[in-house]
Amino acid sequence: MPYRRLPNTDQARVRALKAAVGKGDVYNVRDLAITLKTLFDARNFLQKFEAAQNYYMQCYENQSRASRKHQGNVKMARLYISHFIQVLNLAVLRDEIKVGNKQLYELPEANVVPDLLSEVALVEWGRKIIDGEQRRVSQGGIPIYNPTIARVKVHYDIFLDSYERQKAYQALTNRSLEELASMRDRADELIRDIWNQVENKFQEVMPNEDRLEKCRDYGLVYYYRSGEKIKLGKND
């Protein structure tokens, strides 16, 4: 015998609810396989659930679209910050800048570039490099060129702005997903109740395939176990 299985995605939940709710516009009360209360509850919930799903998808799309542009800003900020530190290290090696001045940037004495792979590290080191260069120059030091700290700051500020926006997009997406997830149990409860009522309504219909078709008309989904459909076909 084929078995039914509740939807396991939000899109499938919406389809299942729409299939049942749609029967309220087609059949009169006496012919409906579900009660009016169930129909009313399902219709009201469907509106809220579908709205929550659409809002989540919109938030996710906004985040994804912004992320593509943000990654370009990350790349440029990392390039300029890394290059500035390399130029600073070379200036130290040439004794153009005293090694002790690296403390102004909170850099180690070793001529290495800090790990800049994460965006958090970029935020931290960009700020340290900009502040450090400004302090050194204010003490009479010769500014570093190619790149200048002004050019570094331009790309750092662009990155920082998109970094904060991206965090805001992520927060919205997470909240909308939490709201959607909180509604899934109720969706499954309604679908289960609808399907139970439908199967009870058509339990006397024969042959079995006709009964299944009537149930499928209300959105029920049936699955055959491995090899079962082939056997049924041979018996027919």
Residues 6 or more apart from 109 whose CB is under 8 A from it? Answer: 99, 102
Q: How far is CA 212 from the centre of its chain?
A: 37
Residue 229, pLDDT score:
57
Residue 166, pLDDT score:
97
> 101 is in which domain, residue-wise?
3-235
Q: What is the mean pLDDT of residues 190-206?
A: 95
Among the listed residues 116, 95, 115, 92, the one whose alpha carbon sits nearest the alpha carbon of residue 104: 92
Query: What's the chain's average pLDDT?
Result: 93
Domain count, the chain: 1
Q: Which amino acid is at 80?
A: Y
CB 82 within 8 A of CB 116: yes
Q: What backbone torsions phi and psi does residue 4 show, to the nearest 5 degrees? A: -95, 155
Is residue 33 pLDDT above 50, yes or no? yes
Residue 2, pLDDT score:
81
Q: What is the pLDDT of residues 208-228, one digit of tens each?
A: 889 999 999 999 999 887 766
Q: What is the pLDDT of residues 77-88, one digit of tens each?
A: 999 999 999 999
